[in-house]
Structure 1
Amino acid sequence: MPDSRTPVVLIHGLWLHATSWQPWADLADEHGYAPLAPGWPGEAATVAEARRHPEAVAGLGIDEVTEHYAGIIRALERPPVLVGHSFGGLIAQKLLGAGLGRAAIAIDPAQIKGVKALPPAQLRAGFPVLGNPANRRRAVSLTAAQFRYGFGNALERTESDELYERHTIPSPGRPLFQAAFANFARHSPAAVATGNADRGPLLLISGQADHTVPDVVTRSAYKLYGDSPAVTELKQFPDRGHSLVVDHGWRTVADHALRWLACQGIPGRGTSRT
């Protein structure tokens, strides 16, 4: 019997393993969606294995990761909802702009081409990678202290350290360089079709205490969609950092995303194939 549920493709960003989406996947399933959370190309099935083999993802760029998810989406029976965090949010926007999703939710999305804001906190959060040009070709791990600044700054240290131990993996440095220099590259892989009038609805979510993708960056991205008549909305969560999809408050963010999908007429079951 064909599955009538709407697929939800969960796309993680740098330094978090795909299994970090499990609570979101369970909740989506409860609401009648068909969730899947594929890792990036080359990503091992477990956190432990991914830590043992950082070379498997070294050198990956935005285009390679986007095409990986595009292939997964093309194999689905119906257009999915795309939910992405950090660089996963950038990739979700690229896929939606290319017509490969029914709707997208981009949470603390990495900087897209055209965004000029560059707050000091963002520079500091990216320095573990951007501080060494050789990291373009490497997979880089964060220390617990670096994770706390970039992800867990709005949390108690104990929770930040627990999340670090449970979910973090080495990630390629190349996407950060591509995003950082996007406005200087004519054909940047960080470019998104913000003017596409035919795409599905898009929700941008910002944690207003985020160091890695400060609120001003997400607000600047939102403004870039101003010339498109397609639905684009912005939701800001006060006092939330970059860990907002995995920390103790994840359910508040996920519930808002589900309510937004319902408002867009995209329930989990019985939806159209078009």
Structure 2
Amino acid sequence: MAALSTIFMISNPQCRITVMPRAVLKNINYKMGVPYELKQGQSRHFHKLPSGLNMEFIFQKGRDRKEEKPQKTPLVFVHGSFHAAWCWAEHWLPFFSQHGFDCYALSLLGQGESDSPAGQVAGSLQTHAADVADFICKEIELPPVLLGHSFGGLIVQYYLAYVGSRELQEKECSHPYLAGGVLVCSVPPSGNSGLVWRYLFSKPIAAFKVTRSLAAKAFQTSLPLCKETFFSAAMEDRLVLRYQKLMTESSSMPLFDLRKLNASLPVPPMKDSSIKILVLGANDDFIVDAEGLRETGRFYGVSPVCIEGVAHDMMLDCSWEKGAQVILSWLTGLDAEQSK
């Protein structure tokens, strides 16, 4: 993130962007009542969208990256409902930064410290994916890996459906090319309705708890329910309480209108099957079941990886390193393949 204004070319030669100087914003009017304090090496910035609204992102530069070495693939993280950029900044940004990756964690509109659009909901699959695309087009020099969690994974899937080939990117910059996609405990391509119906018939008590926790937002006031919904049983209550407060403050409006969302699903298949995809799930996931994980894997023609001993919020859970290590191994192979 250069301090001085620079001009660079991304994968689309016609998309020449002037990157203006951005000061690190230390004294802002926080939208979250419990603001997230950044860790060492992290900085908070705001990307201005074509709508004029500002989208928060937290940046952490790859620590061991030296100019004489080839630049590693940038990583762009997209959160799900009731979360924001902070959920990645807690553990995974420092981890991947330490391994040389430039990391960008976004807060979608109406979430975290981002501006809120007019209306009752923050957006749709189309508008959120377009905002992510605008960010990548104007802020990232190389084709990144796009990582999405939960409903953020569904946004990544929609983005993947509209990524053109590298040749197409020479003509347009609507959805810039990606080096890869990582779907973390993602809502499957058909949406969450299948998950709900399976729970209703096979685990009615769990279905009631999930509905109460998420639809009625009871996770915000019940520590045990918040823990059961998002975290492993071994997670310390003090940490659950901290994240519960941050999640409660993260969403000034719902991420989607779920009725309209389900009407627009399933997401279309990818146009470019050469883009590498990693589908990652958690064995103790209380929200996305094993069949949902398998559905996503089948859709992308890959074998999903299910990690033992972690829950839905894999990036915040007490064993967060397990998922991070799997992704790191996959990224290492991806970089090695692209450098050939």
TM-score by length of 2: 0.62
SS in 1 for 2:233: coil
Q: How does 1:102-121 map to 2 (within 5 A)?
A: 102-113=179-190, 116-117=194-195, 118-120=197-199, 121=206
1:32 corresponding residue in structure 2: 100
SS in 2 for 1:36: strand
CA 144–271 in structure 1, closer or farther in 2 if over 3 Å, else same: farther
SS in 2 for 1:33: coil
CA 65–208 in structure 1, closer or farther in 2 if over 3 Å, else same: same
Task: Give 1:114 deviation, angstroms.
Answer: 6.9
Highest RCO, 1 vs 2 (Cα 8 Å, sep ≥ 6): 1
State how far apart, in whole Å, the 1-side matches of 2:219 and 2:118 are.
13
2:226 corresponding residue in structure 1: 147
2:13 corresponding residue in structure 1: none
1:221 corresponding residue in structure 2: 296
1:246 corresponding residue in structure 2: 316
Aligned-residue Cα RMSD (Å) equals: 3.3
1:160 corresponding residue in structure 2: 240
**Alignment match of 2:121 (pick from 37, 59, 65):** 59
State how far apart, in whole Å, the 1-side matches of 2:129 and 2:295 are.
22
SS in 2 for 1:175: coil
Q: Higher helix share goes to which structure?
A: 1
**Alignment match of 1:173 (pick from 240, 248, 254):** 254
Unmatched segments (≥5 aa) in structure 1: 132-138, 227-231
Deviations 1:118-156 (A, max 9, x none): 33235642445546xxxxxxx998334442232125344
Task: Give 1:56 deviation, angstroms.
Answer: 8.0
Q: 2:160–2:270: 8 Å Cα contact kept in structure 1? A: no
1:72 corresponding residue in structure 2: 135
SS in 1 for 2:154: helix
Judge which range, 94-103 or 252-261, deviates more: 94-103
State how far apart, in whole Å, the 1-side matches of 2:84 and 2:220 are.
13
State how far apart, in whole Å, the 1-side matches of 2:232 and 2:120 are.
27
Unmatched segments (≥5 aa) in structure 2: 1-5, 9-66, 164-176, 200-205
Q: Percent identity?
A: 22
CA 168–114 in structure 1, closer or farther in 2 if over 3 Å, else same: closer
Q: 2:109–2:117: 8 Å Cα contact kept in structure 1? A: no
Q: Residue type matched to 1:265 in 2?
A: D
Larger CA Rg, structure 1 vs 2? 2
Q: 1:129–1:173: 8 Å Cα contact kept in structure 2? A: no
Task: Give 1:157 deviation, angstroms.
Answer: 5.7
Q: 1:122–1:211: 8 Å Cα contact kept in structure 2? A: no
TM-score by length of 1: 0.75
CA 242–193 in structure 1, closer or farther in 2 if over 3 Å, else same: same
Q: Residue type matched to 2:229 in 1?
A: G
SS in 2 for 1:169: helix
Residue correspondences, number: 246
SS in 1 for 2:281: strand
**Alignment match of 2:287 (pick from 212, 218, 228):** 212
Q: Residue type matched to 2:81 in 1?
A: L
SS in 2 for 1:265: helix
